[in-house]
A and B are shown apart, each in its own frame.
Chain A
Amino acid sequence: MTQSNRTYPEPSINMETEAYWAAAKEGRFLLKKCNACGETHYYPRAICPYCLSSETEWYEASGTGTIYTYSVMRRGDTRYAIAYVTLDEGITMMTNIVDCDLDTLAIGQAVEVTFKPTEGGQALPVFRPV
């Protein structure tokens, strides 16, 4: 079995993160940076974890990066690859690697963002090999 059979649970969304998820539904991948200190952080918050400024701002990210690490779950009905991907913007995020032969994954592999529908109709940013 492959990841294509997998159903994605609904993310929890709140006031701080609704813009991220609304953009994902439109196929846009956002990150948040701080206008006070200039740093991009992840996961996105209203308050910058580097300097605690509230001058944080969404921006559309490149959506490209490389696999920092991964693990293919081989128990259960559906195999899937969890991973951390390091984005070109310098942050590393938890995600899934999809639409590929999971046995060919490698650390350092180039990947790009794509979106998968969740059970409740939200779009979830995931990554696939370039």
Chain B
Amino acid sequence: MSRSSKAYIAGVYEHPTRKAVDKTIPQLHAEVALGALQDAGLSKEDVDGYFCASDAPGLGGMSMAEYMGLDVVYTDTTETGGSSYVVHVGHAVNAIAMGKCSVALVTLAGRPRAEGVATLGSRDYGNALPDLGFELPYGPVITNQYGMAAMRHMYEYGTTSEQLAWIKVAASQHAQHNEHAVLRDVVTVEDVVNSPMISDPLHRLDCCVISDGGGALVIVSPEIAATLGDRCTKILGHGEAIKHLKSGQVDLTYTGAVKSGSIAFEEAGISPADIDYVSIYDSFTITVLETLEDLGFCEKGQGGKFVSDGNLISGVGKLPFNTDGGGLCNNHPSNRGGMTKVIEAVRQLRGEAHPKVQVPDCTLALAHGTGGSIATRMGSSTVILGRNDA
């Protein structure tokens, strides 16, 4: 069958660097832009829409448009943390469908590793924000926030550290085949649960890597896609949602994926059982577990059982995930993992993933981003993508 698509992903590029000591952030944005345009078979002059988030230096997209010499008539700088670029895919589809642009460029880049920015420290976004007086003094860092979510999930559903560890094991099985991955060693469940405890119940190997680099996407109209060949990937559905602390009615056992996923599935007209491959944002193992439940791949609370025994390993389990090694092993550029989730899903649908992890006859894929924090405010976004003939 051939499904209709209002826009296509024509080009993707993941920067090969993982430590960019000799490059500036604008330079990295330009390098990934060029890579994605070359991948699409387009040039800079074809771009009429530019999408970026706050990792792009300057005010909105203006500074980077100038740096790269882009001449654009549409821009969107929606900021939802690491999920921004998944949001941008959906917004680019809308803009293209409305005739506002026809070639949309999305870029992400950063160098937290070269700059020595650990994710351990609290992020001070400024005193103007209303919530921070009631959070920052208590020392919320990324790890202990996700730790609190994991702790509650374990309490309510009996989820275990060993079950969470299977998520890292699957990522490491995939990363061994990725020459660019930060961590290429295969690890076992025992390795994960015996790695140093960072913040209960999350161990070092439950946490993603810190890396430099970036990535870019080129999203085009169906008319342009028709001239570029069958490497163009269909965008079949998109959903996004903000979830927060709800005035004090706190529940850390689910994510914004409950909403973003159901919206995306409805738009695509398919269900989780139809999906051949998933890219799931993996800032921590618990992020993946809750997201898989929320997207409907298993019942709420059954995520631990679902991810166990290699069920996420390509060629072994029923739901191959993050075949590039994900943020847990491969890459988490600028501490923002949504971009690379979309890129690996496109590789799978083109049949261009590493042969050892390529999903046979991969027709329908899902990419999901989680931005902000699972324990306070998060922006969730889901896209459902299809092979050119899907």
Interface residues of chain A, those whose CB is within 8 Å of chain B, are 6, 8-14, 16-17, 21, 39-45, 49-50, 68-76, 80, 82-84, 86, 90-96, 107, 118, 124, 126
Contact = CB atoms under 8 A, between A and B. Distances in A.
Contact of A42 (B132, B200, B248, B376): B248
A107 B151 contact: yes
A10 B247 contact: no
Contacts of B151: 69-71, 107
A41 B147 contact: no
Interface stretch (B137-145, B186-194, B225-233, B307-315): B137-145
Nearest to A45: B130
Q: Top 10 closest A-B pairs, CB basis?
A: A91-B248, A71-B147, A42-B248, A92-B250, A12-B127, A69-B152, A11-B133, A41-B247, A43-B134, A71-B144
A69 B155 contact: yes
Contact of B137 (A16, A93, A118): A118
A11 B137 contact: yes
Contacts, number: 122
B139 A73 contact: yes
A107 B200 CA distance: 13
A62 to B, nearest CB: 15
Interface residues on B, range: 35 or more
A94 B248 contact: no
B120 A76 contact: yes
B215 to A, nearest CB: 29
B45 interface: no
Nearest to A86: B250
Interface string B176-212: 0000000000000000000011111110000000000
A74 B129 CA distance: 28
Nearest to A43: B134
23 contacts: A6-B139, A9-B122, A10-B137, A11-B132, A11-B136, A12-B136, A17-B133, A21-B133, A43-B134, A49-B247, A70-B151, A70-B200, A71-B147, A71-B151, A73-B144, A75-B198, A82-B138, A84-B148, A84-B250, A94-B134, A94-B140, A107-B152, A124-B137
Interface of B: 120, 122, 127, 129-141, 143-145, 147-152, 155, 196-202, 245, 247-250, 252, 375-376
A76 B199 CA distance: 11
Contacts of B200: 70-72, 74
A23 to B, nearest CB: 14
A22 B85 CA distance: 42
Contacts of B135: 94
A95 B133 contact: no
Contact of B144 (A10, A43, A68, A82): A82
Contacts of A42: 134, 245, 247-248
A119 B183 CA distance: 40
B155 A74 contact: no
Contacts of A6: 139
A14 B247 CA distance: 19
Nearest to B253: A69
Contact of B141 (A40, A70, A73): A73
A8 B133 CA distance: 12
B199 A71 contact: yes
Contact of B134 (A11, A69, A82): A11
Nearest to A93: B248
A64 to B, nearest CB: 16
Q: Which one of B122, B129, B148, B198 has the greatest number of beta carbons of chain A within 10 Å?
A: B148
A95 to B, nearest CB: 6
